């Protein structure tokens, strides 16, 4: 893919970027944006259909892309995914861990099975990807970006298990950044507020049938800026943090939340 023509001037030209959860939502937006910035993009997702849709979107725009079906819960799958990407595009220069699942409920409404599911994907899945990325980036250099959440910083009603898992994502970010700062690996995370993704639409359809528009507007108003964010807005921040423009940034957690954390506390 040729050098990016957008006005940002930020490039990932000649970089190999592996993005988990790239079959939908924030992960998809990041994959598309990175490809437009010149990266060789590996679309990694457990969903073959979702991953293929993202791959096709990038390929149709002339991007360099491959799809890898991978369950991040399984370490062997993750190791195989990194190896497959390296054979096709060279070793990963960038990792974005966007694969994740959500859960709504207090501790009383959270079963042991719910907790195990959130831990398996949102914590162990990130661990598996970080472990593989460090192995390939150590001393060669690279950029890692984890997708956390505002719930890792403040208490949000009915998000017990989700908050637990995203808090772990932030602390894993700090640990990897500290341990590998002298090995040329940068590790940061972003903490989105409410972002308009398919999960939001599905949640509203299931929980408030017939009242989706009303409840969407109500949720949007909980962001001080007055609306939900868009996946493409998170992708712009991700692009900066994974590019050489952010070479002096590591071990940081960036809120992208319309003022939810700083303006409501």
- pLDDT at site 199: 79
Q: What is the pLDDT of residues 137-190, one digit of tens each?
A: 999 999 999 999 999 999 999 999 999 999 999 999 999 999 999 999 999 999
- pLDDT at site 263: 83
Instruction: Give the confidence band of 233 by pLDDT, cuts at 50, 70, 90.
Output: very high
- pLDDT at site 206: 81
d(CA 83, CA 78): 9
With a pLDDT cut of 90, the percent of the chain lying above it is 83
- pLDDT at site 197: 87
Residues 6+ apart with CB under 8 A from 2: 38, 62
pLDDT of residue 2 exceeding 80 = no
- pLDDT at site 88: 98
Q: What is the pLDDT of residues 4-28, one digit of tens each?
A: 445 568 999 999 999 999 999 999 9
List the domain boundaries for the chain: 16-193+230-255, 194-228
Query: What positions carry a catalytic annotation?
Result: 162
Joined together, the tokens standing for residue 225 give 């800026």
- pLDDT at site 202: 82
Mean of pLDDT values over 210-222 = 88
Mean pLDDT of the chain: 94
Query: Would you tell me how many other CB atoms lie within 10 Å of the CB of residue 8?
Result: 14
pLDDT of residue 1 exceeding 70 = no
Mean of pLDDT values over 221-245 = 95
Q: What angle do CA 56, 84, 136 make, to 5 degrees?
A: 120
Q: Could you tell me the CATH superfamily of domain 16-193+230-255?
A: NAD(P)-binding Rossmann-like Domain (3.40.50.720)
pLDDT of residue 265 exceeding 60 = no
- pLDDT at site 13: 97
Mean of pLDDT values over 18-45 = 98
pLDDT of residue 49 exceeding 50 = yes
Mean of pLDDT values over 228-245 = 97
């Amino acid at each position: 893919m040729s050098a990016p023509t957008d006005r940002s001037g930020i490039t990932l030209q000649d970089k190999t970027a592996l993005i988990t959860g790239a079959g939908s939502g924030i992960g998809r937006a990041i994959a598309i944006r990175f490809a437009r910035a010149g990266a060789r993009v590996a679309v990694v997702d457990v969903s073959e259909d979702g991953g293929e849709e993202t791959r096709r979107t990038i390929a149709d725009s002339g991007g360099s892309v491959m799809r890898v079906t991978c369950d991040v819960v399984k370490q062997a799958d993750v190791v195989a995914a990194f190896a497959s990407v390296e054979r096709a595009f060279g070793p990963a220069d960038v990792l974005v861990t966007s694969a994740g699942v959500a859960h709504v409920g207090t501790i009383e409404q959270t079963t042991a099975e719910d907790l195990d599911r959130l831990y398996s994907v949102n914590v162990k899945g990130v661990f598996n990807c970080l472990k593989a990325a460090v192995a390939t980036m150590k001393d060669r250099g690279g950029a890692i970006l984890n997708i956390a959440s505002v719930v890792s910083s403040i208490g949000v009603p009915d998000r017990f298990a989700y908050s637990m898992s995203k808090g772990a994502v932030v602390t894993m970010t700090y640990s990897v950044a500290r341990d590998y700062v002298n090995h040329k690996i940068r590790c940061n995370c972003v903490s989105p507020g409410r972002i308009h993704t398919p999960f939001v639409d599905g949640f509203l359809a299931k929980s408030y049938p017939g009242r989706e528009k009303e409840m969407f507007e109500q949720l949007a108003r909980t962001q001080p800026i007055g609306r939900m964010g868009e996946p493409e807005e998170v992708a712009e921040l991700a692009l900066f943090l994974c590019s050489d423009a952010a070479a002096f940034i590591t071990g940081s957690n960036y809120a992208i939340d319309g003022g939810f954390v700083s303006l409501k506390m």
